[in-house]
Amino acid sequence: MKKIRALIIDDERLARDELRLMLKEFAEINIIGEAANADQAERMISNLRPDVIFLDIQMPVRSGFDLLEALPVTPLIVFITAYETYALKAFEVSAIDYLMKPVREERLKKAISEVKLRFKESENDHLFVKDKGQYHIINWSEVYLIESLDNYVRIYFGHKNILFKSSLNQLEERIDNATFFRIARAQLINLNYIKSITQQESSLSVKLKSGQHFPVSIRQAAKLKNLYNRK
């Protein structure tokens, strides 16, 4: 298993120092940074894309929950706080664990075990996103179409579709190229959801099981035909 990239977010330096020392006992955890407030954390999450965040709740100006509301994609979450009153809300946003300060070694060990389990389950198989105030855990096998919309993509799965802040190129790097195929500049499709492929003179089009039709770019048409010829 790859190392789990972790970000510590707490406005108290001593709390960050203590947690960093405790986390160094876990070889599978790679601490990629620390943030002292929600604004700094938001920028670091966007740039570094951690797998898990160890998140304080009460911080100046913006709380840990305010931070989560602002994130288009949420990493795995372990809350670390001095207050018991937020536990219910913490699990409503799918937190893995809720640890009280001062953090006890056995409780941290339990949380890390769950982080490892969730990380292994989610690695390349799931996407955890928030759309219109709702959190979705999307299995890539259920996604049949991804379309580019400026700085966002629209992800189609089941009978739903959601907006996700990412470029199509960035998302393409995260998914299985044996399952997904870029048919044109703005569309990425799941090959398992193709119903038919139609040749019309020099052009090619695909029909998905959803009933949607899409033209395939000339460059990608040759690649798609070669792909199916090998099957």
Contacts of 98 (CB under 8 A, 6+ apart): 78, 79, 81, 86, 87, 90, 91
pLDDT at 122 over 80: no
Of residues 172 and 185, the one with the higher pLDDT is 185
pLDDT at 193 over 80: yes
Of residues 51 and 139, the one with the higher pLDDT is 51
pLDDT at 132 over 90: no
CA–CA dist 173, 129 (Å, integer)? 17
Residue 128 near residue 73 (C-beta atoms within 8 A): yes
pLDDT at 173 over 90: no
Q: Which of 14-28, 86-100, 168-182, 216-230 is most confident?
A: 14-28
pLDDT at 127 over 80: no
pLDDT at 134 over 80: no
- CB < 8 Å & 24+ apart, contacts of 124-127: 124/174, 124/175, 124/176, 127/73, 127/155, 127/164, 127/174
Per-residue tokens: 166: 């990412």
Identify the weakest region by mean pLDDT among 11-25, 112-126, 183-197, 201-215: 112-126
- What single letter denotes the amino acid at residue 182? R
Band the pLDDT of 214: cuts 50, 70, 90.
very high
Band the pLDDT of 125: cuts 50, 70, 90.
low
- Average of per-residue pLDDT across 115-139: 75
pLDDT at 147 over 90: yes
Percent of the chain topping pLDDT 70: 94
Mean of pLDDT over the chain: 89
Q: Please tell me what DSSP assigns to residue 51.
A: S
What pLDDT shows up at residue 62? 96
What pLDDT shows up at residue 231? 59
Write the pLDDT tens digit of every residue in 61-106.
Answer: 999 999 998 887 788 999 999 999 998 888 888 789 999 999 999 9
Residue 50 near residue 65 (C-beta atoms within 8 A): no
